[in-house]
Structure 1
């Protein structure tokens, strides 16, 4: 009685005969059902909700398939109504002739009776020793941990209560009671277990993340490593006893070992209970406008203008497009005055929020108490990866245990730095016990020498650190919280700096507020400060304080109105604060929501920042080697870090087969010697991890390679093949065996000897005269040099294989004259439009075109010594007058005008320079130049005669890199392919997938633009799209 046949009818309502095939099939199904006495149900194939959504669905299909709506031969469902049919539609079609199919369908529907319970606590049972309950086992672990953290004599957990401070015991007992009453004992045990296991395996975890750092229980269990009492972190910010909700402890793990922790959880709880969590990519307003405009074939310039009129997110909040059209004057004007724009915006409003793609959440993992399919539907998201079909929010509503395992590269950097320090200097550092008052660390921060320091390395942050001159850990916590758009816009950072340095008086609304505001010099910075004031000044409970914090942060008006009077009256009655002071402070709190920050999270990240600063201050070479190892596949970062090494007096040496490892390494040195870092061989293109491993194993087995024949004899010719040898030679890794030019000219001879030695080793051949001295004679490697290659070619090889110039830079001899005569390219910004500038560097790329008038003009890429580039537009008159100077690889000074707007007046992705004159610099002139001590700077905007508009392309770059994670799905790859095909041009495109050591160069070359970047960023994330 549960077996049915199914019929559907999707003939077009205006032309029922368009689906004759389906009619014939339905007739045969009904005949078969009658013959075999099988009941029939009627259904509909629903692709969208309402019939009027059909045109929007067609647009969505075009977006997904990269088609235009106007194309005739494209995937389309427009000939069939595929909405969810109303009962009246079903009855009208089938009720007269086949009423039984409707009755059958109703019977099936009535059998479907499911109630999904929300708000349950579905935490797996933790396997505790048989003499314990979850509660008693947690208590024992907590007091053992508290003894380790707080007791001076480190007693046993049974004796701990006698030695622990009363404040610690009181806080712990309170938290344990709350955790037990909410049913979360098992939750904490599960987290404790995998963190403890990971630390035993040598995996580095962060000191905490988010509000969990406010729990002394998490601190006692070594889940977090920041003392919540000492740092004024509040438990109720993490768990509110007045509101039962699942706790949320996010875990930062060194990114190259994150998978091991997940594998441990799968092994412990079973692969039938553990799954990754799905994530859905939805169409944001601006992206929806671009997509709709593209499939409607709106000209790119018009589409770009329409998209840019959509306001960006404010404080991380996206305003719905329909609301923006009503409230934004420029957008409203475009909508009402331009029929084409109205069509695009109307359709974008309908598509905004639509799921565009789905994949696996980068960090989310769920652990169920039983077989996970009893709670959530699953899918095979990619080969071997099982994922829920419910996203994160629904998982939380169901009450399932959700974990965020977040890979953090900075922790890998710290771990590698500690390993290098131990190996090179023989010093073992416990990062968790570093003193937080180290003078050398604060001196480094006060100088702004924070390249590579977590959270503190942006140019703006460096400037504020120089002004602030931090002297205590609270200063770092505050800067991590304040350096965000909201506080910056409100002027809070400047006020904080002034008050810290005594340039502005520290004031608080009333002396009763001093305890909460003293650490930030009277400035309200953290959400926890609001909670602390609510408790201390107004007499709120911890739960009430958190409820107020949440209401203010999320602007829940009803709750705020309800608590307003209690807050004001509480301050008056509980602490004697005048009513007018409390009323004013309440008004100030209403604006605070726009910049308030979670202190627990800020404190945790401040601690990682301090760790990295400490390592950089005390072990600079080890820290920089570890940092470059983490960033070896990011050429832009690597160039910045090598420049930083030079400023620090650290030499970065080319790779060397006798000294290099996979990663960057510190060359052992005496205490009074300047340190140096050896380039890691994994960073050499075309070599590969396995070939490097073969070299290292041979070196460790047979000792250092004394000559080239040694190297060839002891390495495997199949792995160290001709291509690898060429790359080793060109990168400098074989410099100890001879000049690069000579080695490269002799490559065939080297390969022949390598193959012969490898074959002999494989065959086990021995000399006929026995194993005497004659048998040990190695074949000679014939090295011949004709001086075919020159020094400048060596540098080009380094750039080709290492991504940058290393042994020297072609512009080093020009450094003095360029420093004084030219502005650094990095200082030219979008808002410098119209200003005059003189720039200098080498011409790294040159491209000529012919204008509509038949004249030649050029686009010149100029690169400075630190690797920054700018495109110089050379109009016909200037090109004709300066053609002798505009030659690839020549060093030039260029005078011109900054241009950062297109012909429509919109800001471009990068500024250009419109050239007026070129001056060729000779090497002799550069060497003879005597510095004056006067540097040039940007000039005032220059008045120019109007020129006919020329559609100049955006800056031509070497390559576009797209980083994909292994969890990205075929849908994401398809979206990327569609976007690339829509922006074909001359820029090379490279994919970097997961942890693979080598990128994949794509056949498609693209034309880069801001719109292209935004479209791609909407699919893979802004951080995953980079221009090198």
Structure 2
């Protein structure tokens, strides 16, 4: 939501009126023809100019000058001059002076950041179209968004997490199934595209595979499936580091050979694919025997590999690593916050997917906090931000103690205290028999999630 409607006290009254929760009212009958289609609140710049003309006696040229005077470079002197004229004109039309002052306040607060009607309509059309696509074709919509990155406000990780929470199945990178682009795969025949398709991550998401490799990879995929790691290396010529990344994220899991074993054998595999540069060391039998004895990758290691090499995970969220431990310290899933009452104390844990410092927010800071069940906005007051500033910018995984605000279906948390998740996890012992490795230290967190 733009700052202008917020400053003009338009957002909440409009939403309540649209929902039928409060009656439509006007400060004066002369405002009804101007504001009737927006339920009595100012939403467009043109309405400010119409009010200046119809209610305050401005000419069209003077109304445009009034609009410009309220721009981002307005001066106190110009504003005071406009206020006196605006209020006196509104009073002559029949508004009481307090109502005229309130009308000026709403206009001046709105105009600095408001939209013209045509501009708002263009954004609304795009918003409606994309919302329709997300509702009816969520798998195809997600693939389209990811194939056009970088774009927009949210990272691919957030887009994938949101899609998974809305029922989209995200399939991992697979050298035989993944094209360069992210794509869709049919998994059913119900006739409902929301259930009949899954999204397959493309090779473009893997760090180290750049656009220059696109044509080669698509050509080799068209020839036929790879028979194993050696065949992949021989046909693509991709280097050791890239192949290691592909193994780490499970792109060769279809071989039924554990990832650690494939990684252990990689040097020998590369040498087999390039006989001119033989590997020195253990025999093939010794390599296989040692590789087979290695323990499988843990849940934490697989998740870390996903975020390290893909910047996202198709199957899990980082908070799942420590959910059981933080639950013992009073932390609830974000998805359960809606069951709590307004103004109740709440404790949440999540990944800070964005930290915003809007210039118009009077030093308030806003965090988008995400876990495996949802996302919630967290408001950080200036004094709280000052106390926890260093922590916020060093620790991507946080536990936040705050007060829940509920207005309709909109939830917000006002933070009181902020903790690094490591500290809270350290306080809680894992439930017996259910411990999951959470050995992702701060340095690794910063590399994975920032």
Place the TM-score, normalised by the shorter chain, in its bin: 0.5 to 0.7
Report the equivalent of 1:716: 236
Distance 2:425 2:249 in 1: 38
1:509 Cα deviation after fit: 3.5
- Calculate the TM-score normalised by the size of structure 1: 0.31
In the alignment, what sits opposite 1:703?
224
- Is 1:643 the counterpart of 2:158? The answer is no
Q: How does 1:844-863 map to 2 (within 5 A)?
A: none
**Of 271, 295, 298, the match for 1:752:** 271
Specify the alignment match of 1:620 in structure 2. Answer: 138
Alignment of 1:643-722 (within 5 A): 643-672=161-190, 673-700=195-222, 702-708=223-229, 710-713=231-234, 715-717=235-237, 720-722=238-240
Whole-Å Cα distance in 2 between the matches of residues 635 and 522 of structure 1?
31
1:823 aligns with 2:303: no
8 Å Cα contact 1:741/1:787 also seen in 2: no
**Structure 2 unmatched runs, 5+:** 278-286, 336-343, 351-368, 375-381, 393-417
* 1:797 equivalent in structure 2: 305
Instruction: Tell me the distance in 2 between the aligned counterparts of 1:795 and 1:916.
Output: 18
Q: Which residue of 1 aligns with 2:33?
A: 515
Contact 1:741-1:788 within 8 A present in 2 as well: yes
The answer to whether the 8 Å contact 2:244/2:263 transfers is yes
Is the 2:333–2:373 contact (alpha carbons within 8 Å) kept by the matching residues of 1?
no
1:650–1:674: 8 Å Cα contact kept in structure 2?
Answer: no
* Aligned match for 1:506, one of 14, 20, 24: 24
Per-residue deviation, 1:620: 0.6
Q: Do the aligned partners of 1:687 and 1:728 also contact (CA within 8 Å) in 2?
A: no
CA deviation digits over 1:324-355, x for unaligned, max 9?
xxxxxxxxxxxxxxxxxxxxxxxxxxxxxxxx
Does the C-alpha gap of structure 1 residues 547 and 807 become closer, same or farther in structure 2, counting only changes over 3 Å? closer
Question: 5 Å matches for 1:830-979?
Answer: 866=372, 906-909=386-389, 910=392, 911-912=418-419, 918-922=427-431, 924-925=433-434, 958=444
Q: Is the 8 A contact 2:180 2:217 kept in 1?
A: no
Compute the displacement of 1:837 (Å).
8.2
State the TM-score, normalizing by the size of structure 2. 0.64
In 2: Cα distance, 1:724 partner to 1:633 partner: 25
- Please state how far the C-alpha of 1:510 moved relative to its aligned partner: 3.8
Does residue 82 of structure 2 align to residue 560 of structure 1?
yes
What SS class does the counterpart of residue 199 from structure 2 fall into? strand
Q: Contact (CA 8 Å) 1:814, 1:923: kept in 2 or not?
A: no
Paired residue secondary structure (2:433): helix
1:14-29 map, 5 Å: none
Please give the residue correspondences for 1:452-601 in structure 2 after superposition, counting only pairs within 5 Å. Answer: 480-481=1-2, 484=3, 487-488=5-6, 491-535=9-53, 542-553=60-71, 554=74, 556-557=78-79, 560=82, 564=86, 567-568=89-90, 579-581=93-95, 586-591=100-105, 592-596=107-111, 597-599=114-116, 600-601=118-119
Match of 2:294 among 784, 788, 805: 788
Instruction: Deviation per CA, 1:286-325: give whole Å up to 9, x if none.
Output: xxxxxxxxxxxxxxxxxxxxxxxxxxxxxxxxxxxxxxxx
CA gap 1:907/1:825 in 2 versus in 1, 3 angstroms: farther
Deviation at 1:582, TM superposition (A): 7.6
Tell me how far apart the structure 2 counterparts of residues 634 and 958 of structure 1 sit (CA, whole Å). 26
Contact 2:49 2:67 survives alignment (8 Å): yes
Is the alpha carbon distance of 1:757 and 1:613 closer, same or farther for their aligned partners in structure 2, counting shifts above 3 Å?
A: farther
CA RMSD for the aligned pairs? Answer: 4.7
For 1:390-413, what per-residue CA distance to the aligned partner results, in whole angstroms no more than 9, with x for missing partners?
xxxxxxxxxxxxxxxxxxxxxxxx
Is contact 1:531–1:545 with CA below 8 Å preserved after alignment? yes
Q: Which has the higher contact order (CA 8 A, sep 6+)?
A: 2
Q: CA deviation at 1:688?
A: 3.2
1:616 CA displacement: 0.9
Q: Contact conserved, 2:325 with 2:425, CA < 8 A, in 1?
A: no
Q: Quick one: structure 1 residues 520 and 725, their matched pair in 2 at CA, closer, same or farther if it must change by over 3 Å?
A: same
Contact 2:204 2:210 in 1 (8 A): yes
Report deviation, 1:601.
3.3
Q: Structure 1 residues 957 and 754 mapped into 2: Cα distance closer, same or farther (>3 Å)?
A: closer
Cα deviation, residue 826, structure 1: 7.7
**Other structure's SS at 2:243 match:** helix
Task: State how 1:65-464 maps to structure 2 within 5 Å.
Answer: none
The count of corresponding residues between Structure 1 and Structure 2 is 362
> Of the two, which has the highest radius of gyration?
1
Query: 1:205-224 deviations in whole A, cap 9, x for unaligned?
Result: xxxxxxxxxxxxxxxxxxxx
C-alpha distance in structure 2 between counterparts of 1:566 and 1:838, whole Å: 51
- Alpha carbons of 1:636 and 1:924: their partners in 2 closer, same or farther (altered >3 Å)? farther
Q: Deviations over 1:234-287 (max 9, x none)?
A: xxxxxxxxxxxxxxxxxxxxxxxxxxxxxxxxxxxxxxxxxxxxxxxxxxxxxx
